[in-house]
Amino acid sequence: MSLQVFPDAQALAQGAALALAGLIETAQNARGMCRIALSGGSTPRRLHHALATAPLAGRIDWTRCAFYFGDERVVPLSDERSNARMAQETLFQPLGIPTAQIFPMVLDPKQPEAEAQRYEALLQRFDGVFDIVLLGMGSDGHCASLFPDTPALLETHRRVVANLAPQLDPPRLTLTYPALEAAREVAVLVSGPDKAATLAQVMTGDSRLPLGRLAARRPLHWWLDAEAGHLIATPTTET
Ligand code: 6PG
């Protein structure tokens, strides 16, 4: 477990990118490749920008990275809500990552269950063990697309499921707790004042919240800005 609280969102992006670069290089040194599952949402945009610009853009050996996703909206890749589209625009395109190194979660939004099975098979090529999973957190304590009171929370075997709960519009595909618990490293990126109270509750391991349940079960790297983490620690705190 590690906790880093940065003064603001920009410092968080830079600090998290540096920490992530270290995790990537550790995986590459150990196994040659780094298999990373990216997070969706808006917070990763700044992180991606920091990774795709100097000095990190030139420091990391991107040819030895394979990019997966922690969750995805069931929409076409061209849809502005697509996490894969966001990553393409903010990370893959700026770095010139070849499509052969990118594994979108949803290729055919008309068949979410089949897509979950396709992705499950893809993960089996490496026993479903990611080197790194990046997560965000919603103000309801969700991570990936493990939302409160949705069926995906109950999955105990499959690594990827379609989460078609009626309250999810659009529906989602998501990594499950088995996948998140099996990962070698999991890092949580949280920014903004609207998440501070939930984050404090999650970090106690409150299993009523999806991310709290994960925090109770495995070590996590917490990368926070002061607005999100002010109830937990002061900025530039590292443990
Ligand atoms: C998604 C994400 C989701 C996200 C949180 C935080 O597909 O939206 O995977 O879990 O990480 O909702 O989103 P923000 O970064 O936009 O606050």
For residue range 108-143, what is the model confidence (pLDDT) as tens digits? 999 999 999 999 999 999 999 999 999 999 999 999
> What pLDDT digit, counting tens, does each position of 20-34 carry?
999 999 999 999 999
Q: What is the reported pLDDT for 138?
A: 98
For residue 237, pLDDT beyond 60 = no
pLDDT attached to residue 234: 72
The answer, yes or no, to whether any atom of ligand 1 lies below 6 A from the CB of 212, is no
Q: Name the band, by pLDDT with cuts 50, 70 and 90, for residue 236.
A: low
Ligand 1 binding pocket includes 150 (Cβ within 6 Å): no
Residue 239: pLDDT band (50, 70, 90) is very low
Q: Is the pLDDT of residue 238 over 70?
A: no
Does residue 10 register a pLDDT over 60? yes
What would the mean pLDDT of 173-202 be, rounded to a whole number?
Answer: 98
181-205 average pLDDT score = 97
Amino acid letter for position 68: Y
- Cα separation of 13 and 9, whole Å? 6
On whether the CB atoms of residues 128 and 179 are closer than 8 A, the answer is yes
Average pLDDT over residues 143-153: 98
Q: Which runs of consecutive H residues, i.e. helices, occur in 111-205?
A: 112-124, 177-182, 196-202
20-30: b (≥16 Cβ within 10 Å) or e = bbebbeebbee
Angle subtended at Cα 138 by Cα 185 and Cα 133, rounded to the nearest 5 degrees: 15
- Positive or negative, the Cα torsion across 161, 166, 167, 169? positive
**Ligand 1 centroid, distance to 136 Cα (angstroms):** 5
Q: Cα 138 to chain center, whole Å? A: 12
Tell me how far the alpha carbon of residue 107 is from its chain's centroid: 19
At 55 the pLDDT is 96
Q: Using DSSP bridges, classify how beta strands 34-38 and 160-163 pair: parallel, antiparallel or unpaired.
A: unpaired
pLDDT at 101 over 90: yes
Average pLDDT, the chain: 96
The residues near 98 (Cβ < 8 Å, ≥ 6 apart) are: none
Pocket lining: 131 vs ligand 1, CB cutoff 6 Å:
no
The pLDDT, as a whole number, for residue 1 is 81
Q: Which of 12, 38, 39 to mutate to test the pocket of ligand 1 (most atoms within 8 A of CB)?
A: 39
Rounded Cα gap, residues 73 and 168, in angstroms = 9
Ligand 1 centre to CA of 43 (Å) is 7
Q: What is the mean pLDDT of residues 145-159?
A: 98
| CA distances in angstroms from 108 to 114, 180, 183, 232, listed in the order given | 9, 24, 26, 41
66-77 pLDDT, tens digit each? 999 999 999 999
Contacts of residue 124, Cβ cutoff 8 Å, sequence gap at least 6: none
